[in-house]
Structure 1
Amino acid sequence: MKRRQFLQAATVGAASTAVAAPAIAQAMPEIKWRLQSGFPKSLDTIYGAAEVIAKFVNEGTDGKFQIQPFAAGEIVGTPQVADAVGNGTIEMGHTCSYYYFGKDPTFAIGTALPFGLNARQINAWFYHGQGNELMNEFYAKHNLFGMPAGNTGVQMGGWYRKEIKTLQDLQGLKMRIAGLAGNVMAKLGVVPQQIPGGDIYPALERGTIDAAEWVGPYDDEKLGFSKVAPYYYYPGFWEGGPAIHLFINQGKWKELPKAYQSILTAAAGYANADMLAKYDARNPAALRRLLGSGTQLRPFSQEILDAANKAAVEVYDEVSAKNADFKKIYESVRGFRNEEYLWFQVAEYAYDTYMIRARARG
Structure 2
Amino acid sequence: MDRRSFIRNSTIGAAAAVGTSGLAAPAIAQALPKLKWRCTSSFPKSLDTIYGGADDLAKYVREATDGNFDIQVFAAGEIVPGLQVADAVTQGTVEMCHTASYYFVGKDPTWALGAAIPFGLNARGMNAWFYYGNGIDLLNEFFAQQNLVYLPGGNSGTQMGGWFRKEIKTVADLKGLKMRIGGLAGEVLSRMGAVPQQIAGGDIYPSLERGTIDAAEWVGPYDDEKLGFVKVAPYYYYPGWWEGCVTLSFMINKGSFDQLPEAYKSLLRTAARAANLEMLAEYDYKNPAAIAQLAAQGAQLRAFTPEILEASFETSEDLYTEISGKNPAFKKIYDSMAAFRNQTFLWQQVAEYGFDSFMMQKQRQGALKAQTK
Q: Post-superposition shift, 1:26? A: 6.7
Q: Secondary structure at the match of 1:314?
A: helix
| TM alignment of 1:151-170, pairs within 5 A | 151-170=155-174
Unmatched segments (≥5 aa) in structure 2 = 1-22, 367-373
Distance in 2 between the 1:23 and 1:251 partners?
27
Distance in 2 between the 1:106 and 1:334 partners?
14
Q: Post-superposition shift, 1:144? A: 0.1
Q: Secondary structure at the match of 2:325?
A: helix
Distance in 1 between the 2:200 and 2:318 partners?
27
Counterpart of 2:42, as a letter, is G
Instruction: Check the 8 A contact 1:27/1:257 in 2, yes or no.
Output: no
Residue in structure 1 matched with residue 38 of structure 2 by the alignment: 34
Distance in 1 between the 2:352 and 2:215 partners?
32
Q: Secondary structure at the match of 1:322?
A: coil
Q: Match for 1:219 among 214, 223, 229?
A: 223
- What is the root-mean-square deviation in Å for CA atoms of aligned residues? 1.4
Residue in structure 1 matched with residue 184 of structure 2 by the alignment: 180
Distance in 2 between the 1:151 and 1:275 partners?
6
Counterpart of 1:272, as a letter, is N
Instruction: Check the 8 A contact 1:81/1:93 in 2, yes or no.
Output: yes
The structure with the larger Rg is: 1
Distance in 2 between the 1:196 and 1:27 partners?
42
Alignment pair present for 1:208 and 2:212: yes
| TM alignment of 1:59-78, pairs within 5 A | 59-78=63-82
Unmatched segments (≥5 aa) in structure 1 = 1-18
Residue in structure 2 matched with residue 287 of structure 1 by the alignment: 291
Distance in 1 between the 2:25 and 2:172 partners?
72
Instruction: Check the 8 A contact 2:162/2:237 in 1, yes or no.
Output: yes
Q: Secondary structure at the match of 1:359?
A: helix
Residue in structure 1 matched with residue 109 of structure 2 by the alignment: 105
Residue in structure 1 matched with residue 253 of structure 2 by the alignment: 249
Counterpart of 1:266, as a letter, is T
Q: Percent identity?
A: 63
| TM alignment of 1:247-286, pairs within 5 A | 247-286=251-290
Residue in structure 2 matched with residue 315 of structure 1 by the alignment: 319
Residue in structure 2 matched with residue 4 of structure 1 by the alignment: none
Distance in 2 between the 1:47 and 1:22 partners?
32
Q: Post-superposition shift, 1:360? A: 1.3
Give CA deviations for 1:290-332 in whole Å, capped at 9, x if unaligned: 1001110000000000000000001111111111101111111
Give CA deviations for 1:24-63 in whole Å, capped at 9, x if unaligned: 4673000000000110000000001111111110000011
Residue in structure 1 matched with residue 83 of structure 2 by the alignment: 79
Q: Post-superposition shift, 1:241? A: 1.3
Q: Secondary structure at the match of 2:269?
A: helix
Q: Post-superposition shift, 1:20? A: 8.2
Q: Post-superposition shift, 1:202? A: 0.5
Distance in 1 between the 2:31 and 2:312 partners?
53
Alignment pair present for 1:357 and 2:361: yes
Normalised TM-score (structure 2):
0.90
Counterpart of 2:55, as a letter, is E
C-alpha change, 1:255 and 1:226, in structure 2 (3 Å) is same
Q: Secondary structure at the match of 1:148?
A: strand
Q: Post-superposition shift, 1:81? A: 0.8
Aligned residues: 344
Poorly superposed stretches of 4+, deviation over 4 Å: 19-23
Q: Match for 1:344 among 345, 348, 358?
A: 348
Distance in 1 between the 2:54 and 2:299 partners?
31
Residue in structure 2 matched with residue 297 of structure 1 by the alignment: 301
Q: Post-superposition shift, 1:263? A: 1.4
Residue in structure 2 matched with residue 237 of structure 1 by the alignment: 241
